[in-house]
């Protein structure tokens, strides 16, 4: 099953998720750690269907032009169709001071490899932004995880 339908409903700020991080590895470790903790708390709320709590952890850009009820309606159905998470592993987290389509600021992109009960292995990407003294979720997307690299094939002569 492709995740395109889930990704469309759950990609809250997809444009900014496409930009590569610009900070060097190891830079801003405290920010990355704090943002990653916030991502984990947000995902836990989403996994437990506590969408009102998830809304409260959203950045202003996500809340613009929609009500809490609208957002919950957009997210709850597709999110629940994924099933419960049976495994989630942190793939990486990176700090950036710039994201395409967003003003200069502090951003952390966190990526998890996740297995839900109703879909194949997925990659969850959460963009967090530092706003009003705290890390808030500015975007979320879910996509098919990249398949593991296949072993190289050798050719033989017959």
What's the 3-state SS for 3-52?
Answer: CHHHHHHHCCCHHHHCCCCCCCCCCCHHHHHHHHHHHHHHHHHHHCCCHH
Task: Using alpha carbons, list the distances in angstroms from residue 84 to 34, 44, 65, 87, 144.
Answer: 25, 11, 30, 9, 16
What pLDDT does 28 receive?
A: 87
> What are the pLDDT digits (tens) for 10-54?
433 333 344 444 444 455 899 999 999 999 999 999 999 999 999
CA 52 – CA 102 distance, rounded (Å): 25
Q: For the chain, which domains are there?
A: 4-15+33-144 (3.10.450.100)
Residue 58 DSSP one-character state: B
pTM confidence score: 0.76
């Amino acid at each position: 099953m492709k995740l395109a339908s889930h990704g469309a409903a759950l990609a809250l700020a997809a444009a900014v998720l496409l930009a590569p991080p610009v900070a060097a590895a190891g830079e801003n470790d405290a920010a990355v750690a704090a943002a990653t903790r916030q991502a984990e708390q947000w995902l836990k709320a989403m996994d437990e269907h506590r969408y009102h709590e998830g809304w409260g952890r959203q950045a202003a850009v996500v809340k613009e032009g929609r009500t809490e009820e609208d957002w919950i309606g957009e997210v709850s159905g597709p999110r629940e169709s994924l099933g419960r998470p049976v495994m989630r592993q942190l793939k990486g987290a990176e700090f950036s001071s710039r994201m395409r389509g967003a003003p200069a600021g502090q951003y952390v992109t966190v990526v998890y490899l996740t297995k839900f009960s109703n879909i194949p292995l997925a990659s969850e990407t959460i963009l967090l932004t530092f706003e009003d003294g705290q890390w808030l979720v500015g975007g979320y997307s879910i996509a098919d995880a990249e398949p593991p690299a296949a072993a190289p094939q050798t050719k033989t002569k017959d």
